């Protein structure tokens, strides 16, 4: 399928975080646009944050670049430098290996939507500065542990 209308793509909720962290992203919905067109080298999601919800735990990647472009609404980006507001038409990039965790909040009463793009460079790892969590990319998907390497029970 070459052309896609995002209205026709299913929204995915939920997360593969350990159970205790899942509520953090309960207000997040993703439409996997890139996958719907058969792409494999990078992912493009059209992501919706409901009012008062959050994109992710604050994190950074060792190998994979990330980029976001705001389509509608307003988002608050959190990094080591603090909070910044992004409006529709603004963008942000998070180069691989830059140890500055990021996540997005929708602090408003209106839905916010953005495109998020990330590549699929192997042997990636995610670091979570605010939480006792480490993510390792495996062929089976992300594997999450505590920072001391012990697994979460779920």
Q: Which listed range, 17-25, 51-59, 81-89, 104-112, lies at the site for a second copy (CB under 8 A)?
A: 81-89
Torsion angle defined by CA atoms of residues 133, 62, 91 and 34, in that order, rounded to the nearest 10 degrees? -90
Q: According to CB under 8 A, which residues from 9 to 28 bind a second copy?
A: none
Of the candidate residues 33, 112, 135, 137, the single one contacting a second copy (CB under 8 A): 33
Q: Kind and range of the H or E element at 33?
A: helix 33-36
For residue 65 the two structure tokens come to 């670049």
Give the C-alpha separation, 55 to 28, whole Å: 6
Tokens of 124: 């990636």
Q: Single out the residue of 18, 27, 36, 108 in contact with a second copy (rule: CB under 8 A).
A: 36
49 binds a second copy (CB under 8 A): no
Joined together, the tokens standing for residue 28 give: 């997040």
Q: Look-up: residue for tokens 């350990």?
A: 18
Number of residues that bind a second copy (CB under 8 A): 39
For a second copy, the binding residues (CB under 8 A) are 2-6, 33-34, 36-42, 44, 64-65, 67, 69, 77, 79, 81, 84, 86, 89-96, 98, 100, 102, 115, 117, 119, 121
């Amino acid at each position: 399928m070459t052309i896609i209308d995002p209205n026709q793509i299913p929204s995915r909720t939920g997360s593969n975080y350990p159970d205790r962290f899942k509520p953090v992203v309960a207000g997040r919905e993703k439409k996997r646009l890139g996958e719907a067109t058969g792409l494999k080298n990078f992912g493009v999601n059209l992501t919706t944050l409901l009012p008062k919800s959050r994109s992710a735990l604050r994190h950074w990647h060792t190998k994979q670049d990330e980029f976001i472009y705001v389509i509608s609404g307003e988002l608050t980006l959190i990094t080591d430098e603090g909070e910044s507001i992004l409006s529709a038409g603004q963008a942000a990039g998070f180069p691989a290996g830059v140890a500055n965790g990021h996540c997005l909040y929708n602090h408003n009463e209106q839905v916010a939507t953005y495109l998020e793009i990330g590549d699929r460079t192997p042997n990636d790892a995610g670091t979570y500065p605010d939480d006792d969590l480490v993510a390792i990319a495996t062929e089976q998907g992300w594997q999450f542990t505590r920072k001391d390497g012990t697994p979460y029970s779920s």
